Structure 1
Amino acid sequence: MNKRTEYIFGVSSLIGLLISVGLTVLALRSGNYAPDAGAMIISLGAVNVVLAIVVVGALLKAEEHWKRICELGPAGQLKDERIRMLIGQSELARNSGFEVARIIHNIQDQLRDRINELFQATEDIDNGHPPTVEELLDLQRTNEMFYLFLVDNLKIMMDLLTGRRCAVTIKIVEGSEGGVFMMRTFMRDAASYRSRKTADSSAAEYPYYDNTAFREILSGPRRSFYVSDNLGAEATYANSNPAWKRLYNATLVCPIRMQLNGEVPADRREYSVLGFLCVDNREGGLDRPDCIELLASVADSLFNHFLMLDHVTAAADRAIEEHTAC
């Protein structure tokens, strides 16, 4: 049905509406609230004509649509379904993009507040006026809750980006007497905690080189992340957890670090690494620029918070020891 025919149908509908309204107004103005049979018949006839035109127009349009699909055959129907699916995916991507942006904003909002609190506490400690033991312990609890908030929100974000159910973990780098970096789980998202807590308790600490991702970032060719959507196909991948294949087959790891030696060639850069943000799932979808950049941006922003939290935690430990000694 062409534009001209559609125009005719539209004008016909408008004329019918105007006739009905005109007759009604005429009846009211003449004080005839119960119009005679002739006027009623004319009004109903006009309405019926307009309805008939509209129905015929709709049928012609539907017939044209199905005729086009029949001419194209199954391929045409599939094409229409594909177009509808793409429109739906576009709308979903738009909504997901907004939700990801909102999550990042929420994380940065909370991180700003926590850093400000820790900054005030570290200044007081350095000036010889440390907070009370109760205040220090309250700061610790508040920031532990922040990290739970962080991993839970990162899980939601990575679920949206990948379309898979992800698990998020914060790993801490700790020194040892032998000079070997040791890894420890600091925080897991609430959804994956129950299925992973056994592995965390059986290996509370383990050398960094027992995990390929940590080894390549800490002692490899200065990698800024480690990612794989199919760890089962990585012949050299190693993990300290013997049951890792039951839990995931894809991972993305970004370090919480800061460069120490300014503008130098990549092979000579030195970093202070405090920990790692780790994401994994069974199906993949992590080896993408948006996933990598978003997770790395959050990891970078955590470095100063980690430093100040460690400072406050050490002060709390000293205060508790002094209080106990008294």
Structure 2
Amino acid sequence: MNWQQALKDYQNYLRLERGLSENSIVNYSLDIKKLMNWLDANNITHSPISISEESLQQFIYEIAKHVNPRTQSRIISGLKGFFNYLIFEDYRNTNPLELIEAPRLGRKLPDTLALEEIDAIINAIDLSSKQGERNRAILETLYACGLRVSELTNLKISDLYFDEGFIKVTGKGDKQRLVPIGSSTEKYINIYRKEVRIHQKIDPKAKDTLFLNQHGRQLTRAMIFTIVKRLTEKAGIRKTISPHTFRHSFATHLLENGADLRAIQQMLGHESITTTEVYTHIDRKHLTEVINKFHPYK
């Protein structure tokens, strides 16, 4: 088995057996390609089946010179998954990365926006512009429903259950969940749908897609990043903001206002409660206020 064939088979496994998104598959593949390129550059002829622990240790040592610990840890984790797949398919008996430890990392806390900052970004939208109403509906949906970027761009008109007060969201691994939506966000989506989108010439493939670009096609992830970046700069906010920041802010504000962690987990579509628990570490000031207000021995 050569590297190209092993990578192709692994990609099919991730797609069909694990149900991962194309974005995740691309990221896993990049880690393996880094190893393949390093082997070629150093004239090392090991196959995926014969490569040794010593060669992989040397590879990890080399990349550690050029990437930060978080990236190094991700690459090690990705390669471990690849070799575990080879064991699963009976190509190997052992994982050559089994004894290689990833660098210890502190837990990176997500950036968040204050409510006033979110309002400032939304107020920076020029509603007289061609895409103003669409952009307002996009930001309102990102924050009000806590969506990932891919979930937003893939949102369908047929996913809107406004009479029931929910939208249907397709998340990682094509797992679906119902997320409550407020009347204010419904209003802005309907304004966009009934006053802007209805007048567009729409690509037949995007007929059911909610948010469209000026050519009547599905918006890309990169376009959502660009919209957020430009509006953040226009609002005079100097934080590093991405569409994902609205998702983090959604979860943080819910928690600060007393929402149950399990409910937040379900709305975010986290498979594990451990992922959601990161939000309990974000606002220490809020936790101090809770202690001062409710603890009998304050």
For Structure 1 versus Structure 2, the TM-score category normalised by the shorter chain is under 0.3
How does the TM-score come out when normalised to structure 1?
Answer: 0.21
